[in-house]
Amino acid sequence: MLAAFLFLELTTLNGVEPALTAKRAAAFLGVSPGTLAVWRSRRTGPPCHYSGSKPVYYLSELREWQQLCTEERLGASSSFAP
């Protein structure tokens, strides 16, 4: 339900993708905002941009990052297969 809400909210007429707040990005990823903050400080999480001093995320980049993480996990687990 939350993902559908975010998608509807981010659909725009001019095709420009608005930025998500860290709180909404964390909700989309299923992690806490604190986890996202730790990832930001370690530079290990999804791509982050700043609007002034506020971190913001783009849905397309979050999806790409999720896909990359999934591929890496699958690749790592398949390397142990006979």
Residues 52-82 pLDDT 10s: 999 999 999 999 999 999 888 887 665 544 4
Helix 59-78 and helix 2-10, axial crossing angle in degrees, nearest 10: 130
Cα maximum dimension of the chain: 51
Q: In whole angstroms, what is the distance from residue 5 CA to residue 1 CA?
A: 6
Domain total for the chain? 1
Q: Is the pLDDT reported for residue 1 higher than 80?
A: no
Judged by DSSP in three states, 50 sits in strand
Domain range for 61 is 2-78
Residue 71 structure tokens: 């591929």
Rounded percentage of the chain residues whose pLDDT exceeds 90: 60
pLDDT number for residue 77: 60
pLDDT digits (tens, 9 = 90+) for 2-38: 454 444 444 454 567 888 999 999 999 999 999 999 9
Output the CA torsion sign for 25, 71, 1, 13. Answer: positive
- Domain with residue 15: its CATH number is 1.10.1660
